[in-house]
Copies of this chain bind each other. A is one copy, B any other.
Amino acid sequence: MKPIRVTVWNEYRHEKSDEAVRKVYPQGIHQTIASAFSDPLQVADPADFAVRTATLDEPEHGLTQKVLDETDVLIWWGHMAHQEVSNEVVDRIQIRILGGMGLIVLHSAHYSRIFQRMMGTSCRLRWREADEKCRIFNIRPDHPITQGIPDTFELPAEEMYGERFGIPDPEELIFLEWFQGGDVFRGGCCFRREKGKIFYFQPGHETYPQYYNPIIRQIIVNAARWAAPLSPVAPEMDSPNAPLFEVMPKH
């Protein structure tokens, strides 16, 4: 069994410019997420995953064709600089997803260019920063993403994301969220786009330590296992001419 090759991508701007965020994630959100894949609490066998990170300000945002060619699952966190991600890189990621690479979209990356590209919609939502409690309900206990996850659990504080969430109907709705201030949200959604699997997961505002929470970490690791391609990634973008299967009658 080869390891699943995960690339954790982070915009990595808040951590540099905002002291409050740096306190929570001194090495950057990407390093905290990446650490889940070698954390014995989440992963019994460390050989299951091979993890790297990439950030916006690296050349080609750290996502060269070579890096993507070696990526089975891409995890994406972004917020304030979505528009700085280049067309070329978005195109490249989309093609790789259609060929089978998994994509995990976290929190404010609902507005990332790659998620909008894959959905074809605005991906808009309502939001509020009010330090409010969030309770997450697991409505698919049979799903690979929820193995080991309780029926419900709380985050003491999270940015509120509320409906209407401007997405196509997810193929599978995994988590529903309750917010103390009076809102609900489809906080865990699975999509398939050709051979690629996509999971959107709401938690992870930059000022809260969600990515240290063992339940959140387990969900992300489970999602990476679920989203990994079952066969080698191979996009089929063209429409080939097809020979006849059957001999046609003479006219």
Contact = CB atoms under 8 A, between A and B. Distances in A.
Nearest to A229: B142
A111 B237 CA distance: 10
Contact of A169 (B141, B176, B192, B230): B192
B181 A237 contact: no
Number of chain A interface residues as a range? 35 or more
B125 A239 contact: yes
Interface in A142-177: 142-144, 147, 151-152, 160, 162-166, 168-169, 171-173, 176-177
Contact of A98 (B100, B122, B132): B122
Interface stretch (A66-74, A205-213, A243-251): A243-251
Contacts of A92: none
Given A135-B182, A176-B163, A184-B178, A236 B128 contact: no
A100 B144 CA distance: 13
Interface of A: 94, 98, 100, 111, 117-122, 124-128, 130-132, 135, 137-139, 141-144, 147, 151-152, 160, 162-166, 168-169, 171-173, 176-184, 186, 191-197, 229-231, 235-246, 248, 251
29 contacts: A117-B120, A121-B194, A122-B236, A122-B237, A126-B242, A127-B239, A127-B241, A128-B242, A130-B248, A135-B245, A137-B183, A137-B184, A138-B164, A139-B163, A139-B165, A139-B186, A142-B229, A142-B230, A142-B231, A168-B191, A168-B192, A171-B171, A171-B172, A178-B178, A178-B179, A181-B246, A182-B245, A183-B245, A184-B184
